[in-house]
Amino acid sequence: MKITRELINRYLKNQCSAEEAAYLEDYIAHLGESIDQLLSKEEWDLTDENLDYPNQQEIKDKIFAFAKKQNVLKYNRKLVRIVSAAAAVIVFILGFYVSLNPFLNQPAPEVRKIAAIKDQNEEISNLYYINSGNDNMLLTASDGSVITLYPQSEIKYAEDFSIQQERVLYLKGKAKFEVAKDKSKPFRVHSTGVVTTALGTVFSVDELRSTQTQIKLMEGKIEVKAVDHQRGKELVRTFLPHEEITLDHRELKVVEEIKTHTIGTDRGGHFLQNNQIIQFKNIALEDVLTILMQNYDIKLQYDKSLISNKFYSGTFTNKTNVFEEIIREINYLHHAGINYTNPQ
């Protein structure tokens, strides 16, 4: 009796005779080294062991249904032989169908790099990279910008920026960008809830937590923007070299900020807010007031000439309406005459 595709299909549909079924099971169980007749060793070795094959669940269900049926008709010892044969049939069918399907027989794409794909909404070819390894991945965009993609991160951007009005990239995780200068095409990195814009600079974006993003600027100048359209609230900050910000992109609050070149001087400053404390260290008053308005949704009225080139340091316990205490102290120390409107 010859093993054919027709015989296998009839076996899987439970349409073959008992003699044909027994012959097929016995053939598979005792195939031994003659397996090369069906699929060569080289072809087996090239086949992904985890590769799906057509109708795999249907095939599996039918094989186990057949084994269960045989259990009713035969002794337990016979059942063991049938189940073993059924398992062998699964392997056989997998190899048989893979060998017949040239698409299934192709190697899987490398996880670390995925080739250009077409955007469904526009005729744009996008490059999509996933760094699932432990080492940084170096990428070069079409404009010459260099991207360092950190482990467990992914990024997508247009294959050719020359036909785009902007250089737009979508990041999940952490990456460093050395942006090629092009004043006509802003370089925008979209991370969760935040857009960082540059023209020609070096900066990094790191999604530290599900609600926090950290942006560090090494060279040039950048704008960081986060918008909550539902609440009509936004956070917009600009940074100079060696400055950085950590923000809560869900609440649109500044969590931490480092200012190395504050207004009018080279004096550096640091701001930190967590569940326990709020700390200002050598922060320009204008930056202090901007942070208070951002984090507490308040409106401040003040004379800019009274706060120009003035700096503030102070540490407070983080509690409800702590901004009132901060403003009182600033007014006392600097005679700034700051007034505020309570949040709604």
What is the per-residue pLDDT for 259?
Answer: 87
- H or E element that contains 139: strand 137-140
Q: What percent of the residues of the chain are helix, what percent strand, and what percent coil, each to the nearest 5?
A: 30, 35, 35
DSSP string, 40-63: -HHHHHHS-TT---TTHHHHHHHH
Place of tokens 């901004």: 323
Instruction: Identify the pLDDT of residue 72.
Output: 46
**pLDDT reported for residue 136:** 96
pLDDT given for residue 105 in this prediction = 42
- Return the bridge partners of 198, or none: 187, 222
pLDDT for residue 111: 39
User: Does the pTM of the predicted model rise above 0.85?
Assistant: no
pLDDT (0 to 100) of residue 3: 67
Contact 151, 134 (CB under 8 A): yes
Report residue 214 as tokens.
């950290």
Sites in the chain below the pLDDT cut of 50: 32-35, 44, 51, 53, 71-80, 82-84, 87-94, 96-117, 119-121
- Residue-level pLDDT at 45: 56
Q: What is the pLDDT of residue 61?
A: 67
- Which pLDDT does position 279 carry in this prediction? 96
